Amino acid sequence: MGAASKAAGTLHMSDESWKRHANPWSVWTRLAAIPLIPAAIWSREWLDWWCLVPVAAVMVWLWLNPFVFRPVHTPTAWSSKGIYGEKLWFKDKWPVSADHRRIQRLLIVVGGPAGFALIGYGLVTLEIWPTAFGATLMVLGQLWRIDRFAQLYEEQKRIGAVQ
């Protein structure tokens, strides 16, 4: 079992969870949460320790999100196809091309550690530009990953590997 499959298993992503997570409302509200996390942490300047309330609210929302929306059984929206493609990506023996693996790794680094490091620096120093740029990198990285996953889903659908 690969690291990605272990991560999906750790998050308890059943088939039903994936279908709910594929709902466009789920995708877009999770993306909207990316800038909310730094904003909630930044609020420590005004709220002191009470800033943990909005931080906790965002974290609870991110945890609840895949359970709240109706499942998507047949993906038609771009975001739904992206999540179905992500599910394919997590399968251990799925025939994912080297091109997809290479691009996904790049996007994970750009959207993950690089964006996170900028956000962290900006939040520690209370500088808006690194914080905003880091959040932007994370959002754009996620959008690009979803697009690549949607392309993966479409490729697999075209060859008849998925319905």
If you write DSSP's letter for every residue of 40-85 in order, what string do you get?
HHHTHHHHGGGGHHHHHHHHHHHHHHHHHSPP-SS--SHHHHHHHH
pLDDT at 100 over 60: yes
Task: For residue 158, give the nearest of 71, 150, 52, 7 by alpha carbon.
Answer: 150
Predicted TM-score (pTM) of the model is: 0.81
pLDDT at 110 over 90: no
Neighbours of 90 (CB within 10 A): 17
The conformation of residue 2, written as its DSSP 8-state character, comes to -
* Helix, strand, coil content of the chain in percent (nearest 5): 80, 0, 20
Beta carbons of 148 and 107 less than 8 angstroms apart: yes
- Express as a percent the part of the chain with pLDDT over 70: 89
Spell out the domain ranges in the chain: 3-158
Q: For the chain, how many residues are written?
A: 163
pLDDT of residue 10: 45
Q: Give pLDDT tens digits for 52-76.
A: 999 999 999 999 998 899 999 999 9
Neighbours of 124 (CB within 10 A): 11
Q: Give pLDDT tens digits for 27-42.
A: 999 999 999 999 999 9
